[in-house]
Amino acid sequence: MAPKMNGIGVQVENTRICVVMVGLPARGKSYIAQKAQRYLKWLSIPAATFNVGNYRRNDSPHPSADFFDTKNAEGERKRRAAAEAAVKDMLKWFDGGGVVGILDATNSTKERRKWVLDWLTKEGVEVIFVESKCDDEELIMANIRDVKTTSPDYKGQDPEEAAQDFRNRIRNYEKVYKTINADGDENDLTYLKIMNVGKQVIINRIRDYLQSRVVYYLMNLHIRPRSVWLSRHGESLLNLEGRIGGDAGLSYRGDEYARKLPELVLESVGSDRPLTVWTSTLKRTIATARHLPKHYNQLQWKALDELDAGVCDGMTYQEISDMYPEDFQARDEDKYNYRYRGGESYRDVVIRLEPIIMELERSEDILIISHQAVIRCIYAYFMQKTQEESPWVPVPLHTLMKLTPRAYGTEVQTYKANIKAVSTWRGKGSTAKHEDPRPDGGV
């Protein structure tokens, strides 16, 4: 029987990996777990997170700090039961074809780690521990403030009280916390230890390729607060004619957007801290970035160029439908996988964007000025859009998007420039030159 495969060609072949998070609360564990899951899914590798806290919450929705005291037998029993339930569900999920399961809990003692390792090894699952260790008090406090406002535990509670409770909760964990291999007797574990947000990293006993790939990605992550801004280029001359691709300059209104962009960015950033600007190598994105402040560093990436439409480059949808009717239909049927003759598919774009995503993860505030299909792929990464949805997401011209990754998901804010532009969105089956996006995204 042929083994399963997926888009980027990581062959899964019976590999089942459990990423077991380790670390005190407010060290960015959930954040890391959620990022890893999103990255893997974006690359078409089945991944899911099992948050032990969520299982515990079913039992005790709003526990006080005492609950987390190791001397509290009732609390201890309930937390253990929650961990068991999470692992059981994960095993069930593996049987249904899961590849990378992430166990999101503190796993802060040697005993707990051994318990997880023994159980999963017995089930034929490879275990890799991922620890985030941080002593920087300022970072921890920033993280608590972030978590406190977004954690389901503190829904509807007074923020100050919540913060105080959280500090106490952490103290209970600190009493028993032991970092991986602190005593030198966990040398056989496969683990990744990230210290002080990546300042130092230890990688121990990586056993296969997929593990090395996950480790590689996690090494690029950081938990410093930051945002990513996305914008398409200003309206181009080809946009006006409803033609795709090409390397045209900006229309009059597109130029107006370029001139307004600095103001829009300033409003969104809220201070004059500089952003790094990434554009494609095409005229229309470079022209869109040209009025941004001089102290913004600008870089051009070939990988940010628009999806290559091959033989259809420079054509209208009507022309494509007339000249290549089969292609036009094939593309609507599976837009993610459809590759233009001599050109690219969305899947191809995702593969070439991987270095961009890596670089994006390790950078701080970045403004990306690129093209419709490329922005869709980047947006799909941050918002966990499926392959069916992502190629149809409306990304209007003359609009700035601000994405802020948080522990429990990504926040989006949009800023309209209020400069008219044509719509380049196209619904399934349509050959209209310009069409307004439908609220359902056309799927």
Partner 1 sequence: MADDGSTAEIAANAPRYRRKSSTFIDGIHDVPDDQGNMAPAQLYSTMSGRLFHSGRIAIVMVGLPARGKTHICVSMARYLQWLGVKTRIFHLGDYRRATVGEGGHVPQDYFYPNASPASVMLRQKILKKCREDIYGWLNHENGQVAIYDAVNPTASGRRALAKEFAKHDVQTLFLESFVDDEDILKENARNVKISSPDFHGMDPDEAAERYLKRIQTKIPVFETMQEEELNYVKMINAGQAFFYNNVSFNYLSHRIVFYLTNLHIKSRTTYFVRAGTAGDEDSYKADAPLSEEGRAFAVKMTETLIRHREAERQSVIDRGGADVPLRPLSVWTSTRLRTIQTGEPLNELGYKVRQRSQMSQINPGVCEKLSERAIRNLYPEEIEKHELDPYHHRYPRAESYHDLAVRLEPIILELEREQNDLLIIAHESVLRVLYSYLMHCSTRDIPKLKFPRDEIIEIIPAAYQNEAKRIHIPGLDPRLVPSSPEDIRILVPGSPIGAGQLSPIPGPSSPGPGDVVEFIVTRPPEKVVNKAKEMVADKVADED
Least gap, CB of 111 to partner 1 (angstroms): 23
Stretch that binds partner 1, among 77-85, 142-150, 194-202, 228-236 (CB under 8 A): 194-202
Question: Which residue's CB is nearer to partner 1, number 9 or number 439?
Answer: 9
Site for partner 1, residues 307 to 326, rule: CB under 8 A: 311
CB < 8 Å & 24+ apart, contacts of 181-185: 183/110, 185/110
Among 81, 286, 358, 432, binds partner 1 (CB under 8 A): 358
Q: Annotated catalytic, 104? A: yes
Residue from 107, 10, 100, 97 nearest 49 by CA: 100
Known catalytic residue at 123: no
Q: Shortest approach of partner 1 to residue 311 CB, angstroms?
A: 7
Does the annotation count 13 as an active-site position?
no
Catalytic one of 222, 233, 371, 398: 233
Residue 441 DSSP code = T
176 counts as binding partner 1 under rule CB under 8 A:
no
- Per rule CB under 8 A, is residue 303 in the interface with partner 1? yes
* Ramachandran class of 274: left when φ > 0, alpha when ψ lies in -120 to 50, beta otherwise: beta
Applying CB under 8 A, does 274 fall inside the site for partner 1? Answer: no
Distance CA 218, CA 214 (A): 6
Q: How far apart are CA 12 and CA 40, in angstroms?
A: 12
Catalytic residue among 104, 131, 255, 313: 104
SS3 148: helix
Q: Segment contacting partner 1 (CB under 8 A): 27-35, 358-366, 371-379, 401-409?
A: 358-366
- The two structure tokens encoding residue 179: 């970092």
Question: Nearest distance from residue 216's CB to partner 1, in Å?
Answer: 4
Nearest residue to 254 (alpha-carbon basis) of 279, 297, 283, 294: 283
Cβ distance to partner 1 smaller for residue 182 or 202: 202
Does 141 interact with partner 1 (rule: CB under 8 A)? no
Q: Which is nearer to partner 1, 65 or 206 (CB)?
A: 206
Contact between 71 and 18 (Cβ < 8 Å): no
Q: Which of residues 200-259 bind partner 1 (CB under 8 A)?
A: 200-206, 208-209, 212-213, 215-216, 219-220
9 binds partner 1 (CB under 8 A): yes
Q: Is residue 11 part of the contact set for partner 1 (CB under 8 A)?
A: yes
Phi-psi region of 373 (alpha: psi -120 to 50; beta: other; left: phi over 0): alpha
Q: 256, 305, 306, 313: which is the annotated catalytic residue?
A: 306
Strands, E assignment, 28-150:
47-51, 100-104, 126-133
Contact string 26-55 vs partner 1 (x = CB under 8 A): ------------------------------
**Alpha-carbon span 274 to 271, nearest angstrom:** 9
**Distance of alpha carbon 311 from alpha carbon 320, whole angstroms:** 9
- Tell me the C-alpha distance between 6 and 15, whole Å: 13
Structure-token pair, residue 71: 């001397």
Minimal distance in Å, beta carbon 296 to partner 1? 15
The pair of structure tokens assigned to 415 is 């800023």
- Strand pairing category for 191-195 and 200-204: antiparallel
Which spans in 96-192 are helix H?
110-122, 137-150, 159-176
Question: How many residues sit in the footprint of partner 1 (CB under 8 A)?
Answer: 39
341 forms part of the interface with partner 1 (CB under 8 A): yes
In whole angstroms, how close is the CB of 163 to partner 1 at the nearest point? 30
Output the smallest distance, CB 201 to partner 1, in A: 5
Question: Should residue 152 be labelled a site residue for partner 1 when binding is judged by CB under 8 A?
Answer: no
Residues in the chain, overall count:
443
**Residue from 301, 317, 328, 425 binding partner 1 (CB under 8 A):** 301
Closer CB to partner 1, residue 8 or residue 269?
8
Identify the bridge partners of residue 366 per DSSP, sorted by sequence position.
228, 276
Least separation in angstroms between residue 279's CB and partner 1 is 13
CB closer to partner 1, 5 vs 182:
5
With 0-12 / 13-18 / 19 or more C-beta atoms within 10 angstroms meaning exposed / middle / buried, residue 398 is buried
| Cα 225 from Cα 143, distance rounded (Å) | 9
Closer residue to partner 1 in complex, CB, 153/186? 186
In this structure, what token pair is assigned to residue 321? Answer: 């439908």
State the Cα–Cα distance between residues 67 and 79, nearest whole angstrom.
Answer: 9
Tokens read off for 85: 């339930």
Least Å distance between CB 14 and partner 1? Answer: 10
Which of residues 127 and 417 has its CB atom nearest to partner 1 in the complex?
127
Residues that bind partner 1 (CB under 8 A): 2-3, 5, 8-11, 13, 198-206, 208-209, 212-213, 215-216, 219-220, 299, 301-303, 311, 339, 341-342, 351-352, 355, 358-359, 362
Residues taking part in catalysis: 104, 233, 306
